[in-house]
Structure 1
Amino acid sequence: MANNTVSTKHNLQVLYEDNHIIVINKRSGDIVQGDKTGDKPLSEVVKEYIKDKYNKPGNVYLGVVHRLDRPTTGIVLFAKTSKALPRLNKMFAGKEAKKTYWALVKNQPPKTADKLVHYLKRNPKQNKSYARSKEVPDSKKAILSYSLLKKLTSYYLLEIALETGRHHQIRSQLTAIGCPIKGDLKYGFDRSNPDGSISLHSRRLQLIHPVSKIELDIVAPVPEEKLWQVAEQG
């Protein structure tokens, strides 16, 4: 598994890089693409890093393959070439890339492992998705599997594998089983994390390289916050 993190002067944690792709360990608060806030997106920071590292003249090509919610941390993959981007998009659309997440929750889940199936209905005004047990108009089917990895003093570490990629899916589905993610006020946790993050981390990405066809297995170290460090040990 690749987890040789390289920190850069651009304050990036680069987990993997070659001619065609680059994988970043995103910090909480970073936005992957520009939005109405006008804050500088991670994609622009990565472009600057590439431009500086390789002394590239003109514009730098960078394709956004997938996103993470702003308060979450972990793996974000970008395409560095126009050859890699459509192949990666096809892989992600066909669920050929396996993404694994870690979440810290305060309440013990109903089962040590389970597959959750809900129908998510999005409320754009609230920027929130609601999980229903049965299909309702304009809802989308959402499927994930979770397992309990570890019990900490006051929290539980869950590992989550997504079968679908819906808006706020993990946050919404875990709340539906009584396990809101630590710090996630929007989805029912009782208090925020000091840094504004939620304790949801994109931990691992497994895929076949879009050009070289080698198997990639990339792991993102957890944030430096104490509880995360305890969760990662052993």
Structure 2
Amino acid sequence: MRKNKKINIIYKDDQIVVCEKPKGIPVSSDKTGDMDLLHQLKNQLFFEENTDGEPQLYLVHRLDRPVGGVMVFARTKKAAASLTEQIKEHTFEKDYQAVLTGWLPDDEGTFRDYLLKDPKNNVSKIVKEGTPGAKEAILDYEVIDMMEDSKMKYTYCLIHLETGRHHQIRVQTSSRGFGIWGDTKYNPIYQKTKKKYKEIGLFAARIAFEHPTTGERMVFKADPSGEAFDLLEMTE
């Protein structure tokens, strides 16, 4: 196995590994062939722990390629089953920080929609309830700050996912006219830009779950960084 740029490992034991995913890389292998987080993490554990053979890691949740933040990987099938069940039962908490374009009209609220995934084009869209294949998508948001520079207005907010659908936050915010900063896939403001954004204004800042074997409630956090979140300092 070859060495790669070190991943920030926040916590690890014999059941789980919690790390900070860098923005701009895929969680697992995709058609680009670029090095992905799963393989980087396996490589790193191989060298750090001096294991015999490839370390076992199981993917239980995902982050979009341009999104950075906290993730947990299972190290055993039992741990993977436990975490997957917690996600299914909505006891696995996922909180994000986001920079949106425009000013949200309310300080807090809930977005509730039905999303349909288009695997061929790797996009999701909002559809009517009852549409075949559609899944309910729910998120809660809380506005932290509103900003403005010479180009546009921005909303800095916290987002709590009640469900974890494909591109959920990106679709639900953009459909209401407040897309994610830098999101060339869903935010109309950036769809025609020639600039290549490797990151967007969305960061997985906190996860919380019960440890698969001890049952202890565990909380892990990370602070966002990058061009979008630099706006918070520029507009103070």
Q: TM-score, normalization: structure 2?
A: 0.87
SS of corresponding position for 1:88: helix
Quote the offset at 1:124 in angstroms.
2.7
The farther-off stretch of 143-152 and 120-129 is: 120-129
Q: Secondary structure at the match of 1:53?
A: helix
Shift in alpha-carbon separation, 1:45–1:207, aligned structure 2, 3 A = same
TM-score between the two structures when normalised by the length of structure 1: 0.87
The answer (yes or no) to whether the contact 2:111–2:172 under 8 Å persists in 1 is yes
1:195, CA displacement in angstroms?
4.5
Question: 1:229 deviation in Å?
Answer: 7.4
2:102 maps to which of 95, 102, 107: 107
Deviations 1:195-230 (A, max 9, x none): 421111111011111112222111112124473473
| Deviation (angstroms), 1:189 | 4.1
Give 3-state SS (helix, strand or coil) of 1:170's partner: helix
Structure 1 window deviating more from structure 2 (222-231 vs 104-113): it is: 222-231
Count of aligned pairs:
225
The answer to whether 1:125 aligns with 2:120 is yes
User: Equivalent of 1:68, from 63, 67, 84?
Assistant: 63
What is residue 159 of structure 2 aligned with on the other side? 160
Q: Partners in 2 of 1:161 and 1:150 — Cα distance?
A: 16
Aligned partners of 1:115 and 1:145 also within 8 Å: yes
Question: Matches of 2:182 and 2:87 in 1, distance apart?
Answer: 28
Equivalent runs, 1:12-161 vs 2, <5 Å: 12-132=7-127, 134-153=129-148, 154-161=153-160
Matched, 1:208 2:210: yes
Q: Do 2:200 and 2:228's aligned partners in 1 also have CA atoms closer than 8 Å?
A: no
Gaps of 5+ in 1: 1-7
2:183·2:197 contact (CA, 8 Å) conserved in 1?
A: no
In 1, distance between residues paired with 2:231 and 2:205?
Answer: 13
Q: Partners of 1:35 and 1:202 in 2: how far apart?
A: 21
Which amino acid in 1 is paired with 2:19? I
1:140, CA displacement in angstroms?
A: 1.6
* Offset, 1:132: 3.4
Pairwise CA RMSD? 2.2
- CA displacement at 1:170 relative to structure 2: 0.5
1:177 aligns with 2:176: yes
Distance 1:166 1:227, change over 3 A: closer
Asked whether the 8 Å contact 2:115–2:125 carries over to 1, the reply is: yes
Which piece of structure 1 moves more, 65-74 or 12-21?
Answer: 12-21
Structure 2 runs not aligned, ≥5 long: none
CA contact (8 A) 2:182 2:197 kept: no
Structure-2 separation of matches of 1:133 and 1:186: 21
Give 2:199's aligned residue.
Answer: 197
Secondary structure of the 2:172 match is: helix
Change (3 A) 1:214 1:229: farther
Contact 2:97–2:224 (CA under 8 A) maintained in structure 1: no
Q: Distance in 2 between matches of 1:12 and 1:189?
A: 33
One-letter identity of the residue aligned with 2:154: Y
Within 1, Cα distance between the matches of 2:5 and 2:223? 18
CA–CA distance in structure 2, aligned partners of residues 181 and 32 of structure 1: 20
Amino acid at match of 1:108: W
Q: Whole-Å Cα distance in 2 between the matches of residues 79 and 230 of structure 1?
A: 34
Q: Are the counterparts in 2 of residues 222 and 229 from structure 1 also a CA contact under 8 Å?
A: no
